Chains A and B, each alone.
Chain A
């Protein structure tokens, strides 16, 4: 087996899952997935062990991964105004009043890290 499905195909229940403008569901789209034959066989065996179809197993794994990405995004929401530089240098971080060297270093590291977070709001 070189891929899970040769042609993009309508989902089995496409008619019932795709609603018009009044409905909330946007329906499902079919995608083609190409896998090494050995891996496809292994995945098929895992899916069978979980009483799932290969398609359902792949969808479940992808949704699980998507929720983890969303979880990471939820940790810090970052708004970024247009036109800001992509990077700053540690020495650009302004020192606060009565800030020890250790506290300043900690805040410099924090600022560098926060500057690396893309706009995700």
Chain B
């Protein structure tokens, strides 16, 4: 699984957080050995009167089409999952293509990494302020 891939994944749900959830397209922030850190995406439109979370990156229809996706979507680097690279979580991993929908360009990959890095820094500052129990 390549870093920067948009891939079909059974992203866990809040109701059953430790089991494979519904099929989504996730973004692979990185892999280490047989494991990956995957960010959530959703094609549900964002309510106009609700501010976007700091970890959200909106892809309009044109950007989505360039990433082989039929609808505009929101990438959430504030909603992540650490998952094993197995068929249980990535149902198409053993098929040709591995369930990969698209690979981000180097520029987009860098942009998303920076977005996630800034968010992780903000979290770290809060943890430093409040102690390791957070």
Query: A residues within 8 A CB of B17?
Result: 79, 119, 121
**Tally of contact residues, B, Cβ under 8 A:** 44
Contact assessment for A96 and B2 in the assembled complex, using a CB-CB cutoff below 8 Å: yes
Contact assessment for B82 and A72 in the assembled complex, using a CB-CB cutoff below 8 Å: no
Contacts between the two chains (Cβ within 8 Å), count: 128
Contact assessment for B29 and A114 in the assembled complex, using a CB-CB cutoff below 8 Å: yes
Among B18, B78, B129, which residue has its beta carbon within 8 angstroms of that of A82? B18
Residue B70 at the chain A interface, CB threshold 8 Å: no
Residue A16 at the chain B interface, CB threshold 8 Å: no
Give the one of B35, B82, B84, B106 with max A CB within 10 A.
Answer: B82
Contact assessment for A77 and B3 in the assembled complex, using a CB-CB cutoff below 8 Å: no
Q: B-contacting residues of A (Cβ < 8 Å)?
A: 65, 68-69, 71-73, 75-85, 88-89, 92-99, 103, 106-107, 109-111, 113-115, 117, 119, 121
